[in-house]
A and B are shown apart, each in its own frame.
Chain A
Amino acid sequence: MNEQNLKPDSSDRRAFLKAGAVATGTALAPGVLLFGVAQARAPGEPASDKVRWGMIIDTTKCASGCSDCVTACNTENGLSGATGPQDSQWIRKLNIRHLKSGVETSLPMLCQHCEHPPCVDVCPTGASMKRADGIVLVDRHTCIGCRYCMMACPYKARSFVHEPLTDQNPEVPRGKGCVESCTFCVQKVDRGENTTACVEACNAAGHKAMLFGDLNDPQSEIAQTMKTYATTEVRADLRLNTGVRYQGI
């Protein structure tokens, strides 16, 4: 009898504990998960293919005389900002004018972080590579400076370092004789800031024409924007599935 009496008691307790655990878990899990995403990756931890970093650029908000994104990129990555034919430019303001209508548009052009990047395909040593999270980078240790990737890039997004460099940003190693391009500020992304210098500068200037985020996360602002507004890939005919999309063109 005693045993019979005990049984319902213990099962109640178990049910209570279970319910409590589920409730606590439900309450904490998103926080823990968000905490996990927001934190910098541990050294040695590989980038995750669950994430695909991307950018949407609203050309209707991009001011034609403004080059804050370019300046911010140069400062963040230690570029001189010079614009001679041999100088590196990771992001540039491109002005386009429709030949028939005459409509003019200004937009930033940078590495489009393609899903199928031609620069990665052609690189003989594998120095041009795409991380699991979609960021296209150049491995500074294995780039031999053959410049075939520059021939292959449809966006003219890459630069070759033509002369010795001084006063580099330690977080962004660059080197004479290697090819380089926009890294989506990978140092900031890996720190867990999940933004880029150009996007920050655009927001600071009040234009808010650039949006950076995880295309794979349905809840992210960038994914929501992609779902709501028509966006275009530059040279969509090449089917490279670019990580950078444009609105308003």
Chain B
Amino acid sequence: MPSQEFCLSPRECKPGQFWSLLAVGGLVMLGTLAAFFYLEHHGHVMTGMNNQIVWGLPHVFAVFLIVAASGVLNVASIGSVFGKKMYKARAPLSGLLAIAMLAGGLAVLVLDLGRPDRLIVAMTHYNFKSIFALNMIFYNGFFAIVGLYLLTLMDRRLNHWSKPVGLLAFLWRLALTTATGSIFGFLVARAGYNSALYAPMFIIYSFAYGLAVFILVQSVMYKWNNIQVDERILSRLKNLLAIFIAACLYFTAVLHLTNMYFAKQWEFERFILLDGGIYPLLFWGGQVFLGGILPLVMIFSRAGKSPATVFFAALLVVLGGHFQMYVTIIGGQAFPLDLFPGYAESSSFFDGVVHGYTPTIWEFLLGIGGIATAFLITTAAVRVLKFMPQDDFKDIELEAH
């Protein structure tokens, strides 16, 4: 069967470029696999992670991908659950990205395990009190439900099922992100975590990161096919992104303000916001300014209506999301545990001191392997099935009024 039959339009069918895209993704994956086998052989001694910073750069990439995966599905949910046609046209791509990014994030988590060969143990032994174990159920369920959802969206005979299945997918993704946030929220002993706010905050983060990723992918696909995105569509997506960014900033502010109310949290807040070395810099400069304020300013500026501005604003949100994960995951561990409040502590096991962390190339290679996995799945799927958004502009006109 000639490959052209799978294409959206003859213009889209650029087999050479498709293979070169796969080659780029494959090359990154090769680096990731090399890093994986290297670490599998030598152990985590070759990474910057240690007994103080137990989760490092791979987890920054992995958690970002998992959070963004659930968020990117929102585009589909707005279409199916809330009946917005413009979003419905984007539902298949949204579902595909959700599956691809979750697969990428989980791949990184698995490749970073101390015993990745025991993945089957993780799949067969469940401690149901563990939020980690529950997450495995949520993740696997997410694949199944979103897969089914895609089927109802793309098979005309099953279209009438798309609303109930879409609703299930929407509720499931809310539960999934709640559980992902709770991985940190349930860590009772650490000053940087231990807050019920983590669950809703991660949901809000997921809204912003997911939509930003969607805008980026859609922009690239449009550009690839020389299609101009309609101004009304772009305008709605960017305004929604702005609301999500503002909500992220709000939740971040509430987390730190509530922490500042508790005397026992002052030291940690001082560390993460003021004098904790690289972490305040990444927080204020990366998470808040680059990932929050700057994209907001860009979206609402005079140039905000241009596709390029929206693209770069979304790119900044994704970048800021990685800074946020770094501050949350590494910064939260870098601050020492306080075993004896009111005492200064010291030991051979680095008690009472800020823990250092210098990631190595191996961790970086593992981390970007997640992005490469998502990229490869998306590229291959977009090539063989119709994921390109198909707008009916009459509907958009109607919805606008």
Contact = CB atoms under 8 A, between A and B. Distances in A.
Interface of A: 83-89, 92-100, 109, 118, 120-127, 141-148, 150-156, 158-164, 176-179, 234-235, 238, 249
Interface string B352-389: 00011000000000000000000000000000000000
A96 B343 contact: yes
A66 B114 CA distance: 34
A57 B48 CA distance: 35
Contact of A85 (B51, B135, B339, B343): B51
A147 B183 CA distance: 12
Contacts of B122: 124-125, 144, 146
A157 B116 CA distance: 23
B222 interface: no
A10 B70 CA distance: 86
B127 interface: yes
Interface of B: 42-45, 49-52, 54-55, 109, 113-116, 118-119, 121-122, 125-127, 129-133, 135-136, 183, 186-190, 333, 337, 339-340, 342-351, 355-356
B132 A148 contact: yes
Given A160-B54, A160-B114, A177-B114, A234 B127 contact: no
A96 B338 CA distance: 11
Contacts of A92: 347-349, 351
B187 to A, nearest CB: 6
A151 B55 contact: yes
A162 B43 contact: yes
A249 B343 CA distance: 11
B348 A249 contact: no
B349 A144 contact: no
Given A86-B44, A145-B114, A156-B351, A99 B337 contact: no
Of the candidates A126, A145, A146, the one having the most CB atoms from chain B within 10 angstroms of its own CB is A146
Contact of B126 (A124, A160, A238): A124
A144 B337 contact: no
B347 A95 contact: yes
Contacts of B109: 146
Contacts of B125: 124-127, 142
Contact of A146 (B50, B51, B114, B355): B114
Of the candidates A124, A142, A155, the one having the most CB atoms from chain B within 10 angstroms of its own CB is A124
B114 A122 contact: no
